[in-house]
Amino acid sequence: MSFFEFLGQYWPRLLGGAGVTVAQFLLAAALGIAISLCMGLMKLAPNRALRWGAITYIEIFRGTSLVVQLYWIFFVLPLLGLSIEKFTAGYLAVGMNIGAYGAELVRGGILSVPKGQWEAALAINMSPAQRMRRIILPQALVNMLPPWGNLMIELLKGTALVSLISVADLMFESRQINATTYLSAQVFGAALIIYYIMARFFVTPFMRWLERFMARKLGRA
Amino acid sequence: MTHTENFPTELTGDDIPMVRFQKVRKSYGALTVLDDLDLDVAAGEMVSIIGPSGSGKTTVLRMLMTLETINDGVIYIDGKPLTHMPRAGKLVPANQRHLRMRRADIGMCFQHFNLFPHMTALENCMEGPVQVLEIPKAEARDRSEELLELVGMIEKKDQHPSRLSGGQQQRVAIARALAMRPKVMLFDEVTSALDPEVIGEVTNVIRKLVSEHKLTMLMVTHQMGFARDISDRVCFFYGGKIEEQGRPAELFGNPQKERTQQFLSAVREAV
């Protein structure tokens, strides 16, 4: 069967899988960004308990394998009395994992804002929270966007692992099709192309646009 | 180590200074940058601080802005302690809440302007009044526009700092500090990072403030001529102490101490 005949026959299932991948990606990204912000700020907090909380989180989720984390959330937590539905378990694991990497980006971004900005904000008597929210974070965000672009592509590719707990994403559908048709070259070739298209023509351009947008807001462009 | 519990919890009398440094010491580890500093600045007075680098002059302003903590002594603003707060009739080191309350009387302009790059000139000026003083936006806008007018930057009010020259940025920074209605303004080498041809536009704004507004000002500067022109008093710092102080005509015209003479002649040669 030629590649195009293959696509003609199986495109609805591949497209359905890709849809699930996109959903997993978006949910994991939202969760990952929230966790990054939270842990990145905690790691810079004056309070030692908060700092240690963040360090522990980052060590665990960055220091162990994503697949093992995924299995923990889906297979081990039910043994402890907490059952999570597989779709949710999927983006939870991926989002929490990416959050640990993102936390370091947030921390680095905040530290990259010049000291003079903190001092100027203090000189107009802003509270620490106002200073962070109004002055430091907007500037930190611009500084950390380029590495976030990389992380988002890692995240997209990382979602393929959710197929291991039977979330019907692009990878899962591809494996199912392969198991029944043995058209390995066609199906994994198609999966490869679809992942590439999503990363190259959607994630990357969006992040670039965001960088330009933020630069304009800073009056840099 | 500290004896500050015996300091007065509030200054009393007829002649309360706007700023008082009382036996203030600042050190970084083994390095003492300011030693037993006593300095009073009267309300409405313009005091310039000059001296060689490393003499502790910028530290004086940074301590007053609460950007640096002090190791001993007390700083008073308008008769009330800044670095300390009264508790049971004695002074104890200030907590964040106290610092925030007292800091409201002080405004500062920095050598490198430190404007917020993600805000326009006008937004820079409105940020403090709206967020900190919680003044309604329209009112804060009017007031900020007045101040931008005062510093000659009203035409550029919608520009971001990246579109402004150094002199223009510094003028916006002055307006931003004034928008908080401080009683004391601090100028930390505000012309040092500027190209020579734009220094005048900033010094002219400060001249205008001195002549038209009743603000207490402390200025660290390397512009000796400027300090001489506009100050009520000039303090020459050397090695963490005030070596000599007096009216500008006296200090520049007839310095008494050898170190002052050496510094001033070295500065004159450099010009």
pLDDT in tens, B176-189: 999 999 999 999 99
A208 min Cα distance to partner chain B (Å): 19
Residue contact A120–B117, C-beta within 8 A: no
How many angstroms separate the CA atoms of A185 and B5, rounded?
A: 82
Domains: count for chain A: 1
pLDDT tens per residue, range A62-119:
999 999 999 999 999 999 999 999 999 999 999 999 999 999 999 999 999 999 999 9
List C-alpha distances in Å: A166 to A80, A175, B63. 21, 10, 62
**pLDDT confidence bin for B106, thresholds 50/70/90:** very high
H or E stretch at A212: helix A204-217
Q: Which of A113, A117, A118, A124 should we substitute to test contact with B (largest number of B Cβ atoms within 10 Å)?
A: A124
Above pLDDT 70, what percent of chain B? 99
**pLDDT confidence bin for B2, thresholds 50/70/90:** low
A145 min Cα distance to partner chain B (Å): 15
pLDDT of residue B43: 94
**Whether residue A191 has pLDDT greater than 70:** yes
CB interface of A with B, residues 65-124, below 8 Å: 114, 116-117, 119-124
> Could you tell me if A216 lies within 8 Å of chain B, comparing CB atoms?
no
Question: Quick one: how far is CA B222 from the chain centroid?
Answer: 14
What's phi and psi for A7, nearest 5 deg?
-60, -40
The pTM score is: 0.88
Residue in A closest to B159 by C-alpha: A219
Mean pLDDT of B51-70: 92
pLDDT tens per residue, range B141-193:
999 999 999 999 999 999 999 999 999 999 999 999 999 999 999 999 999 99
Q: B40 by DSSP, 3-state: which? A: strand
Select the more confidently predicted residue: A177 or B3. A177
Option in A127, A130, A218 nearest B118 (CB): A218
H or E stretch at A22: helix A3-43
Option in A135, A138, A218 nearest B160 (CB): A218
How many angstroms separate the CA atoms of B106 and A163, rounded?
A: 60
How many angstroms separate the CA atoms of B101 and A210, rounded?
A: 39
Option in B114, B131, B162 nearest A220 (CB): B162
Residue contact B108–A123, C-beta within 8 A: yes
pLDDT tens per residue, range B181-226:
999 999 999 999 999 889 999 999 999 998 888 899 999 999 999 9
Residue in A closest to B164 by C-alpha: A219
Q: Which of A47, A115, A125 should we substitute to test contact with B (largest number of B Cβ atoms within 10 Å)?
A: A125
Do strands B106-109 and B184-188 pair parallel, antiparallel, or not at all (unpaired)? parallel
pLDDT of residue B221: 93
**A13 and A82 Cβ atoms separated by less than 8 Å:** no
**B192 and B111 Cβ atoms separated by less than 8 Å:** yes
Q: B221 by DSSP, 3-state: which? A: coil
Mean pLDDT of B45-73: 93
Handedness of CA B266, B268, B269, B271 (dihedral sign): positive
Helical spans, DSSP H, in A44-183: 48-63, 66-71, 86-111, 115-123, 128-130, 137-158, 170-181
Mean pLDDT of A189-193: 94
Mean pLDDT of B46-53: 94
pLDDT of residue A203: 94
A143 min Cα distance to partner chain B (Å): 12
Residue contact B180–A125, C-beta within 8 A: yes
**pLDDT confidence bin for B252, thresholds 50/70/90:** very high
> Could you tell me if B161 lies within 8 Å of chain A, comparing CB atoms?
yes
How many angstroms separate the CA atoms of B95 and B206, rounded?
A: 33
**pLDDT confidence bin for A2, thresholds 50/70/90:** confident
Structure tokens at B35: 């030693």
pLDDT of residue B270: 74
Which of A213-217, B19-23, B81-85 is the least confident region? A213-217
pLDDT of residue B79: 93
> Could you tell me if A178 lies within 8 Å of chain B, comparing CB atoms?
no
Domain encompassing residue A47: 3-217
pLDDT of residue A176: 94
**Whether residue B7 has pLDDT greater than 90:** no
Number of A to B CB contacts under 8 A, please give it: 70
Q: Is B193 exposed, middle or buried (0-12, 13-18, 19+ CB in 10 A)?
A: middle
Average pLDDT, chain B: 93
pLDDT of residue B13: 84
Helical spans, DSSP H, in chain B: 57-64, 96-103, 121-127, 137-150, 166-178, 196-212, 224-230, 248-253, 258-270
pLDDT of residue B178: 96
pLDDT of residue A71: 95
A130 min Cα distance to partner chain B (Å): 8
Structure tokens at A46: 């004056």
**pLDDT confidence bin for B88, thresholds 50/70/90:** confident
What CATH number has the domain bearing residue A110? 1.10.3720.10
> Could you tell me if B128 lies within 8 Å of chain A, comparing CB atoms?
yes
